[in-house]
Structure 1
């Protein structure tokens, strides 16, 4: 069975980082080998705070070396990275990708370039954003940024559809073959917009914007995992894009119906495989 190494944050309670990504990848039929960059009791938006700690870059390297020693890196068909706790961890990601691709040239690297967002309580350590922009994202086969992260990577403003397309095209020139923008907030207030850029062009998909008293965390991690799963299983990027959109929307609908703000990933697990909605992407 094909494996995915997922190097992200982890929360003991709730669904963010690996806690949002691992089960969907498994539910879609893949083996997942999670490596945690940080391990917290809960995500950082709780006003009561959180407990836990970050891991060192050497922790990541040691775990990858252990997997290599038992001859399993050749069974890894994707490296998926998310939140990084230090600039040194970014270097460990680069080393991991190079080792995996040496063992399995068919493997892909999917980078979810999590950058600081003070409004969400997401503060990055010094040097991470620079490492992501200059070294990590150019190495990736696929990047899954939000609008802000895409703008930072390309150094281009994004306030409308044409600028979003231009930024996606610029991002592809900088290294990645595929760009999935998991949220284009400038396009519309009443709909949630996402964009996929491949060699075939730019595709836009829009679905209803669901209202929550508190916005759920871990949705981007879920989208990245669903898209990665599709690609590893051999699904064409456009179909994988539509599936990731529809499945994540299904999870959000179940979460809203339960009047929760922690993603109800387990309760909505059938949506991960057979989404009830069918929003289609259009070439723009």
Structure 2
């Protein structure tokens, strides 16, 4: 059966160090048993110590990558990552409107682990106004959620308020990652679904600097599960469990913020608390 195998696409930037971006996405997709493809928006010179340089590709080449995929493959789900600047966000949005790549996971990548800006400041409004309304699910961390909503997020109530604010901007489902919280014991994520129901996901916090690419990996795993037909809540829980296991079962690569272990199976240590 031609094109019956689940196929997905990541629309993002590369990471020459292999731990984040397109590289992490494709590793995750392979581990979750879907066929991963890519629309490369930008290329970085990057390792575990940080981002040394990056360059966005010409938008014409991005258009052509979308066309190449849609004319041959059967993409069932897609995700965005690093989109560089306002013109490239707009380019990706226009392409997503003209093709049907299934449910869209938006990972609003703004800052790399080492602190380098991966999204121009003037592009945040373009993400908010043009990309977020297309999102089947959006997966910001606390700083990203704050930038998109304009809210100060310092506690659980603020996380919930930010989740509802993102829905008001057009995102159908929201998961706000709590990894930047001060809680030394657990990393707690807030999930708000399209039907209005919500819950929390909690996993034990691991004392490690080897967390490069966690956001990319989570969003890629969710995308893979959606392509296989999983319900949204199930896809999000699987993503959380997969990332938790990938952090816990660490590998020693690089001298800085090391990458995750992408060949793990999801951990059973993730706990769901319904509101």
Q: TM-score, normalised by structure 1?
A: 0.85
Task: Kindly indicate whether structure 1 or structure 2 has the higher relative contact order, using CA contacts under 8 Å at least 6 residues apart.
Answer: 2
Post-superposition offset of 1:60: 0.7
Q: Deviations over 1:122-166 (max 9, x none)?
A: 353352212111211122111111112222222222221122112
- Asked if 2 retains the 8 angstrom alpha-carbon contact of 1:37 and 1:84, the reply is yes
**Residue 186 (str. 1) matches residue 166 (str. 2):** no
Note the aligned Cα RMSD (angstroms): 2.4
* Equivalent of 2:268 in 268, 274, 277: 277
TM-score w.r.t. length of structure 2: 0.87
C-alpha distance in 1, partners of 2:147/2:55? Answer: 28
Partner of 2:89: 90
Q: Distance in 1 between matches of 2:182 and 2:130?
A: 29
User: Structure 1 regions of 5+ residues with no counterpart?
Assistant: none
SS in 1 for 2:46: coil
Whether the 8 Å CA contact 1:116–1:122 is kept in 2: the answer is yes
Q: State the distance in 1 between where 2:253 and 2:20 align.
A: 18
Cα deviation for residue 61 of structure 1 reads 0.6
- Partner residue in 1 for 2:11: 7
Q: Secondary structure at the match of 1:42?
A: strand
Q: Is the 8 A contact 1:44 1:121 kept in 2?
A: no
Helix, strand or coil for the counterpart of 1:281? strand
Aligned to 1:195: 190
Q: Secondary structure at the match of 1:188?
A: coil
Unaligned runs of 5+ in 2: none
Could you tell me how far 1:251 is from its partner in structure 2?
Answer: 1.0
Aligned pair in 2 of structure 1 residues 138, 238: CA closer, same or farther (>3 Å)? same
1:34-69 deviation digits (Å, cap 9, x = unpaired): 1222223424744xx64663312222111112333x
Match of 1:161 in 2: 156
* Partner Cα separation in structure 1 for residue 157 and residue 151 of structure 2: 12
Q: Which residue of 2 aligns with 1:132?
A: 127
Please tell me whether residue 76 in structure 1 is matched to residue 67 in structure 2: no
Using the alignment, how far apart are the partners of 2:175 and 2:149 within structure 1?
14
| 8 Å contact kept, 2:48–2:258 | no
Q: Where is the helix percentage greater, Structure 1 or Structure 2?
A: 1
Which deviations, in whole Å up to 9, do the C-alpha atoms of 1:156-190 show, x marking residues without a partner?
A: 22221122112212211221111011235336233
Counterpart of 1:23 (choices 24, 27, 35) is: 27
Does the CA contact (< 8 Å) of 2:109 and 2:118 recur in 1? no
